[in-house]
Amino acid sequence: MKVALISARKAGMVSCHDCHLLSRMPKISGQQVAHCPRCGVVLHQRKPNSIMRTWALVITAMIFYVPANVLPMTVTSALGTTQADTIMSGVIYFIHSGSWEIALVVFVASIFIPFLKFIIIIYLLLSVQFKSIKRPRDRTILYRITGAVGRWSMVDIFVVTILIALVQLGFLANIAAGPAAIYFATMVVITMVAAESFDPRLIWDVVDEKHE
């Protein structure tokens, strides 16, 4: 079934990012900007510099991913010995101690999901830049997944916090968050902003252009 679709942009209309009012896009030239007639915010038909901004953010997030995984996430001291664990050595520790459920949660939330998000965002960026018209609907779904899944990455920080609380309660050892925690939290936030700065309508703009 073929449905005639018309986008706001094709109709000469623009949707306000903040209050979602649909209004006619005024004729503007050069440095001029259009403002929303209702709330006064600057109007854009698409998020400005979406592709470049998303690239910059996703690359920054990937740089933060390195110290988040290489540096210690937890520093444990017991009976005079100190042990620093990275995310991966923590996962291995949990497997060896029989808590494979915790190992799985930590691995999925802190190693697998952030990596998957990078891959999805980069794939979406490249598909728009190379003007792909393949499966735009599936790519929109992928975009939605990055938003839905991202907030769960912070689970790892909670796991570390709970772990610290548990160990402190046991009085046997002392455990503290390592330097990787701050890199990890920053990486998660930057990845969320990167996904937010990508404008999924660009996927459909390419499809529209090819059909005209």
CA–CA separation, 164 vs 175, rounded Å? 6
39 binds Zn ion (CB under 5 A): yes
29-37, 68-76, 134-142, 151-159 -> range binding Zn ion (CB under 5 A) = 29-37
177 binds Zn ion (CB under 5 A): no
Which uninterrupted H or E stretch holds 76? strand 74-78
105 binds Zn ion (CB under 5 A): no
14 binds Zn ion (CB under 5 A): no
Q: For Zn ion, which is the closer residue by CB, 35 or 135?
A: 35
What's the closest the beta carbon of residue 35 comes to Zn ion, in angstroms?
8
42 binds Zn ion (CB under 5 A): no
CA–CA separation, 42 vs 37, rounded Å? 10
Among 11, 19, 22, 28, binds Zn ion (CB under 5 A): 19
Q: Enumerate the H helices of the chain as residue ranges.
A: 50-70, 87-96, 100-107, 113-129, 136-150, 155-170, 180-197, 201-211
CA–CA separation, 61 vs 88, rounded Å? 19
What's the closest the beta carbon of residue 20 comes to Zn ion, in angstroms?
7
Task: List contacts with Zn ion (CB under 5 A).
Answer: 16, 18-19, 21, 36, 38-39
